[in-house]
Chains A and B, each alone.
Chain A
Amino acid sequence: KQEVTQIPAALSVPEGENLVLNCSFTDSAIYNLQWFRQDPGKGLTSLLLIQSSQREQTSGRLNASLDKSSGRSTLYIAASQPGDSATYLCAVSGNTPLVFGKGTRLSVIA
């Protein structure tokens, strides 16, 4: 059974810092890994999708990496801004539909 863990559960940083969010999964037989953003009371916004054959994806200030063999992914956010404050969720798709971690709640302080 696929299990996804995200560390840390919460993170508070000053504006401008670079930061890394971590995601690990137990079953390496995945199709892809997605990172989502969730604002309070809102749905999920897809940030990045990494196919199982890829090592990383970039979008603006965001860079996600995937090491399938070790069951790990990281989301790197450069030059953080207060508008980046949200919960970030990692999810993997494989023989089962998307399985989510519990998320990392990020606060960027101005």
Chain B
Amino acid sequence: EAGVAQSPRYKIIEKRQSVAFWCNPISGHATLYWYQQILGQGPKLLIQFQNNGVVDDSQLPKDRFSAERLKGVDSTLKIQPAKLEDSAVYLCASSLAAGGGNTEAFFGQGTRLTVV
């Protein structure tokens, strides 16, 4: 079975520019997550989707970050404008469900963003 696909793998941008990341979850997985991982830290949840609806975006900096999951499959995460402190690895994950016994999460390879 194909895993979670993310692109691009690496991105370097200047501060105040915009950037977008793409994620294709495992087929049939209803729940999709975007995490931010700063060097030396554990991943931190940015947003969780259930199908194409937002379940939790409480830690998403909504003044500059946005995310969507059209048709309940692929998702994009956008940053506009980027700041130096946005430099991190952005991880996408998916799971069959959001609760109960089907919450095992599978992660993509991540996108490493460097803001200069």
Contact = CB atoms under 8 A, between A and B. Distances in A.
A60 interface: no
Contact of A100 (B44, B100, B103, B104): B44
A26 to B, nearest CB: 15
Tier of interface size on chain A: 20 to 34
B83 interface: no
Interface stretch (B12-20, B60-68, B72-80, B105-113): B105-113
B109 A96 contact: no
A75 B93 CA distance: 22
Main secondary structure of the interface of A (DSSP, over half): strand
A103 B104 contact: no
B108 A43 contact: yes
Contacts of A89: 42-43
Interface of A: 4, 31-32, 34, 36, 41-46, 49, 51, 89, 91, 93, 96-103
Interface of B: 4, 6, 33, 40-45, 48, 55-56, 91, 93, 98-101, 103-110, 112
29 contacts: A4-B42, A31-B100, A31-B101, A31-B103, A32-B101, A32-B103, A34-B104, A41-B112, A42-B109, A42-B110, A43-B4, A44-B93, A46-B104, A46-B106, A49-B104, A51-B101, A89-B43, A91-B105, A93-B105, A96-B45, A96-B56, A97-B48, A97-B55, A98-B43, A98-B45, A98-B105, A99-B45, A101-B42, A103-B42
